[in-house]
Amino acid sequence: MQRSAPRPSRSRTRNRVRMLACAAVPVMIVAAGCSSDSDDAAKDADKPAASASKEAPKVAPAKFSSLPADPCKSIARKTIEDLVPKAKDKSGSSGKSSDISTRGSCSWNGLDDNGVKGSQYRWLDISFMRYDSDTGIGSGQDRAADYYKKEVAKARATEGAKGTKAAPASGIGTEATTVTYSLTKTDESFGYATVVARSENVVITLTYNGAGYAGAKSPAASDLVKGATKATKEAVAAVPGAAG
């Protein structure tokens, strides 16, 4: 008599099904994980690089790229003769500069000696300062504007000055200020007129002063301002490219 093969119990069958189902779950998780990673990588590839998306800051280009080759020639010879009578050197004395394209200066002085009628002393000096545009610092115009303010403040804070007055000067460059005051030196009262002017990215500072000796009257403040203003206008026009 043949015996039939024993049938597996229902409990064993159920356990096998459960084991197969559990074994399939990790495979699905791994597949899903790989799919998610590849999708994220694709999205990241589509995004532009952060550094590429940021544009470098832009600044306005500086208008003037140079200064007068000879600062002493920035003011007309006739003007020097009028403002500084008997000048020791009508050609002026040029200041030292390591870079004449960014900085320059010149000065004149003279004594008009009239003996017992008294004498007149005059001094005139001028300086140029030019700024280039720099993305890390700012535009040449903005940098010059900052220096302009400092020069005006410096003139107004002159040590020992009396009767200091400051006023806007119209018709000179982009902006300008005139500062007047008096100083006592060598027992004489000297009158001063300083004009600080900015023409775009160039700052010009001009100082004109004088005194009367041996009983001669010192120059009037209005005359000093008139002379300083005339000379400063000529200096502004002398900056290469200013006329254009």
Q: What is the CATH number of the domain that holds 203?
A: 3.40.1000
pLDDT reported for residue 57? 75
Give me the domain span that covers residue 78. 71-238
Helix (H, G, I), strand (E, B) or coil at 6: coil
pLDDT reported for residue 221? 96
pLDDT reported for residue 44? 52
The answer to whether the Cα torsion of 76, 81, 82, 85 is positive or negative is: positive
Our count of domains for the chain comes to 2
Residue 207 in domain:
yes
pLDDT reported for residue 39? 54
Sequence-ordered list of residues with C-beta below 8 angstroms from that of 198, at least 6 positions apart, any chain: 144, 145, 148, 173, 174, 175, 176, 204
Residue 59 in domain:
no
What is the mean pLDDT of each successive set of 10 residues along the chain, which is 244 residues long?
A: 47 49 44 48 51 68 96 97 95 94 97 90 98 96 98 98 97 97 92 98 98 92 98 97 64
pLDDT reported for residue 15? 52
pLDDT reported for residue 115? 85
Bridge partners (DSSP) of residue 207 are 125, 194
Query: CA Rg, the chain, in Å?
Result: 40
